Chain A
Amino acid sequence: MASKKENIRNFSIIAHIDHGKSTLADRLLEITDSVAKRDMSDQILDDMDLERERGITIKAHAVKLNYKAKDGEEYELNLIDTPGHVDFNYEVSRSLAACEGAVLIIDASQGIEAQTLANTYLALDHDLELVPVINKIDLPAAEPDRVAAEVEEVIGLDCMGAPRVSAKTGENVADVLERIVSDIPAPSDCDDKAPLKALIFDSVYDNYKGVIVYVRVMQGTLRAGETMRMMATGAEFNVVEVGYMRATGLEPCKELSSGEVGYITASIKTVRDAKVGDTVTKVQNLASEPLPGYRKVNPMVYCGVYPADGADYEALRDALEKLQLNDASLSYEPETSGALGFGFRCGFLGLLHLEIIQERLEREYNLDLVTTVPSVVYKIHLTDGSVVEIDNPTHYPEQASIDYCEEPITNAHIYSPADYVGSIMDLCQDRRGIFKDMKYITPDRVDIHYELPLNEIIYDFFDALKSRTRGYASFDYEIFEYRRSSLQKVDVLLNGDIIDALSFIIHSEKAMSRARKIAEKLKEHIPRQMFEIPIQVAIGSKVIARETVKAMRKDVLAKCYGGDITRKKKLLEKQKEGKKRMRQFGTVEVPQEAFMAVLKLDDNG
């Protein structure tokens, strides 16, 4: 049943990772009796296992709550949960565009972190009313007064009356609901008569209903049986069902109208037909222009994904297909590697996205994978004046045909206790960063701003940052331009053969040191074999680093007495099995771990 427009509140919750967003959402659901206590599992909105484990929200979710406020009025609260990571910035911005306000959670012991600020600025960009909430007051290290002062000082938000809560114990959580009602405005400019404009902020694939499109209706109405059109893609669909998202499931309704948040099903087969940020309108009464802000999402990071066992190729393709049903930002296309056989070139929004997909493939689909070194997209200007975009080192053109190269550069912000400034700057410098400025956000916390090449970030920058700051620093980046750069393609040769899966593109100043590290790592991880194996790292025909895996000397069962032949036979069989898990390159066998090790070069080491 539709509520009075002035009693609708559309809001999201924004926070730095681990500041308690999902737990607070759980409590809100519980208090508004949206979920029976017995159905309450932790972090009900994060329904992927991976989300629960990593404590991050990967997909946006939404839920409608009914709340009877102290003023006696019945309110309809639409909570739109947003992904909490920079890889998903665009998704976050679309979710925020669907709201009038946002609850900003700050951890009472940690204070403002990178994503607190990043998300705050995003919310302010969308003119959202912010409701600050100080969480985790139950922790012994909680300093709500200090954190409140920090928020006032840094963000300029009045925190005097900010609810101080423990989402974990439920203490003062009811105050948050009152704040949402009193501080966040009702949707403005509601006009049910105007042509339909509904913003898609997420879509999920359901085996029975097809794609379920989550929308915020800005103006107009939509009912089952009507024909809708996606304004960016032009695709048209007959609406099968509209309704509201409840904590316990979907609740069909007759009509979605302006100001409301709800879902549409229309036998849509793929989420790519319901792109986040697109505007839904009605064919009978077309809107003249779409809502602003739609953007085609392009992958930033690419890598090859191969089944460890070639026989799993089909299974991998099916799995990617299934994942893509729910993840329009994942791209993949078949590729072949001389070293790894048949696999896929996959594109991701960022490193976290890459890791998540990889983990889901391994966990949910039980696949054993080998991935290649991640690459960003380079723009290579050729001497004939044309430009090629390269996301795979294998396709790197002949050096002679290249005029110059460009690589993506990010604006990166690092938030950290002031103590670590020195080592953070060393790290950024080492990663070819250009220092822009540094602000003290409080006397002992800084915001360090660097321009960092994306290809330096994808090599475990975050791990290096965490280890240098004992986990206290947080980090945020956004690509802002392509810049001319001196790049080179580096190849790895085993026993004289190029292993294409290990080739990479790198800045020429870094080539030597990375080459040495790779050679060392490979030496460490390739077991001694019956032949001596030369490892060479080369630019073109020039070898810049070399190591040798000495020939194995000894692999023998010296004692073979007592007549226990069966055990010996099994041992040899097992040995052969073990070899199957290795990749054969000519005469050289390389275990999967060697690939992994090259991916995870620790620059501190």
Chain B
Amino acid sequence: MTGIYIHIPFCSSKCPYCDFYSFKGDEKQKDSYLKAVLSALEGYADKSIKVDTLYFGGGTPSVFGGDRIGRIVTYIRESFGLRENAEITVECNPSSTDEAFVREVKRAGVNRVSMGMQSAVDRERKILGRPSGREDIKRAVTLFKNEGIDNISLDLMLGVPYQTPESLDESIDFILSLGVKHISAYMLKIEKGTPFERDEEKLALPDEDTVADMYLHTSERLRKEGFIHYEISNFALGGFYSRHNTKYWQCEEYIGIGPSAHSYYKGKRFYYSRSFEDFLSGKEPVCDGEGGSEEEYIMLSLRLGEGLDGKKFTERYGKCLDKALFEKAEKYKKIGLLKTEGDRIFLTPEGFLLSNSIISDLLY
């Protein structure tokens, strides 16, 4: 099974914390981009490729337009072995989501939506570059639901300027009131070259300990509400994991199309450069070496709530997990950062917070 990721590099405005590849783009650029995507897909097209997830990320796919998204889905349906029950996700933001867009993507077969909410507190939204208010979020969610798309995910950011444990609860309350199936709750990271990096000193950012507490609190609250903390930053009700993103974490294949999009396909990792022009001119992706090593598999599995399963590892690599891994794990077990259950090693939410240190220690 293969996943396909389509990067939509357009945004109506650039948020000050974001370092994803995107720009405003006009209608003409969007048209040529559509052509370039279709022609890149053509390079892979083969009915025997079984595709079970399709993901439009960005950027902001909703500013690309439902019609163009529809044309891409149609092409994939005609030229690949797109599964009947495939998960088809579009990312969108509340302000560019209108009835027409919702109708068009529904018609194209989109059955999952991931909305960049980030915060439900207007003061926080504003500094994050999200001028729309919480009412717009509610409106957009309702539009999708009315159209029959109720597999909805909302993004929630932790550790944003002005955020306090109380304001975080306000955002969580709001999310719960909307009845969504999935929540991505991730801690703000100050990325190089962003306005947030430049102004870091001036931003009223909560300190590291507070952010850690916010994270644990979020996990606890959502779990109480029936969500499963199935990946470091992801929570879902039963049966509503993001199947596409799970591919990344389970070291499964995916084809990424568009500037800066990464692929792991037929054992190789490769990616398109961060250049719109290069992509339009049909420039080939850059090779990024072999993928799917044991190390990679272990590193990615440990991001998941179910963790690293010795049985699955053996099925995949034909050998047992290194004993040393379990020995090293002991010290983390003692302080509650990690647990084991038979052949399975998995991190606790406290362990997720320190996952870089733990994983790098276990691995190297």
Contact = CB atoms under 8 A, between A and B. Distances in A.
A569 B295 contact: yes
Contacts of A554: 187, 208, 211-212, 215, 353-354
| Interface SS of A by simple majority | loop
Interface residues of A, number: 27
B363 A572 contact: yes
B300 A530 contact: no
Given A558-B189, A560-B249, A552 B296 contact: no
A113 B237 CA distance: 79
B148 to A, nearest CB: 26
Nearest to B303: A560
Contact of A560 (B215, B232, B288, B291): B232
B276 interface: no
A575 B289 CA distance: 21
B296 A553 contact: no
Interface string B312-354: 0000000000000000000110010100000000000000111
B260 A562 contact: yes
Interface string A558-580: 11111111101101110110010
Nearest to A573: B364
Given A530-B354, A554-B212, A555-B353, A564 B187 contact: no
Contacts of B33: none
A388 to B, nearest CB: 42
B291 A552 contact: no
A564 B359 CA distance: 17
Nearest to B291: A565
Nearest to B300: A565
Given A531-B335, A569-B296, A572-B299, A564 B262 contact: yes
Nearest to B191: A559
A566 B303 contact: no
Given A530-B354, A565-B264, A565-B269, A559 B248 contact: no
B246 to A, nearest CB: 11
B27 interface: no
Given A554-B212, A559-B233, A561-B248, A572 B264 contact: no
Contact of A571 (B233, B303, B352, B356): B356
A491 to B, nearest CB: 26
Interface in B65-92: none
B119 interface: no
A552 B354 contact: yes
A576 B360 CA distance: 6
Contacts of A568: 299
A557 interface: yes
A584 to B, nearest CB: 12
Contacts of A587: 331
B262 A565 contact: yes
A153 to B, nearest CB: 55
Interface in B274-300: 288-289, 291, 295-296, 299-300
Given A573-B360, A575-B356, A556 B187 contact: yes
A529 to B, nearest CB: 8
B9 interface: no
B153 to A, nearest CB: 12
A272 B263 CA distance: 66
A562 B233 contact: no
Nearest to A553: B212
Contacts of A563: 5, 248, 254, 256, 261-264
B357 interface: yes
Interface in A524-562: 530-531, 550, 552-562
Contacts of A555: 353-357
Contacts of A576: 360-361, 363-364
B245 interface: yes
Contacts of B144: none
A560 B301 CA distance: 12
A104 B300 CA distance: 72
Given A563-B254, A563-B264, A572 B186 contact: no
B195 interface: no
B263 A569 contact: no
Contacts of B209: 550, 553
* Most interface-central of A550, A563, A564, A587 (chain B CB within 10 A): A563
B271 interface: yes
Contacts of A562: 5, 7, 20, 57, 256, 260-262
B353 to A, nearest CB: 5
Contacts of A560: 232-233, 248-249, 303
Contacts of A530: 332, 335, 337, 354, 357-358
Interface residues on B, range: 35 or more
Contacts of A557: 189, 232, 355-356
Contacts of A558: 186-187, 189, 232-233
A566 B289 contact: yes
Contacts of B363: 572, 576
Contacts of A565: 248, 262, 264, 269, 291, 296, 300
Contacts of A559: 186, 189, 233
Nearest to A557: B356
B251 to A, nearest CB: 8
Interface string B1-30: 000010100000000000010000000000
A59 to B, nearest CB: 46
A569 B245 CA distance: 17
B249 to A, nearest CB: 7
A563 B260 CA distance: 10
B360 A575 contact: yes
Contact of A556 (B20, B289, B300, B355): B355
B335 A556 contact: no
Nearest to A580: B364
Contacts of A561: 57, 245, 248
Nearest to B293: A569
B85 to A, nearest CB: 22
A572 B356 contact: yes
A184 B356 CA distance: 73
A556 B353 CA distance: 6
B127 to A, nearest CB: 19
Contacts of B337: 530
A556 B5 CA distance: 24
Contacts of B303: 560
A277 B355 CA distance: 64
A565 B297 CA distance: 10
A572 B303 CA distance: 13
Nearest to B290: A566
A566 B288 contact: yes
Interface string A129-160: 00000000000000000000000000000000
Contacts of B261: 562-563
Contacts of B264: 563, 565
Contacts of A552: 354, 357
Nearest to A566: B288
B158 to A, nearest CB: 8
Contacts of B263: 563
A550 B264 CA distance: 40
Nearest to A559: B186
Contacts of A571: 356
A116 to B, nearest CB: 47
A383 B261 CA distance: 77
Nearest to A550: B209
20 contacts: A530-B357, A531-B335, A554-B187, A554-B212, A556-B232, A557-B232, A559-B186, A559-B189, A562-B5, A562-B57, A562-B262, A563-B254, A564-B271, A565-B264, A566-B289, A566-B291, A571-B356, A572-B360, A575-B360, A579-B360
Given A554-B211, A556-B354, A562-B262, 18 more contacts: A530-B357, A550-B209, A552-B357, A553-B208, A554-B208, A556-B355, A557-B189, A559-B233, A562-B5, A562-B7, A562-B261, A563-B263, A565-B262, A565-B291, A565-B296, A568-B299, A572-B359, A576-B360
Q: Which 7 residue pairs spanning A and B have beta carbons closest together?
A: A553-B212, A558-B186, A563-B262, A576-B364, A572-B360, A558-B187, A555-B356
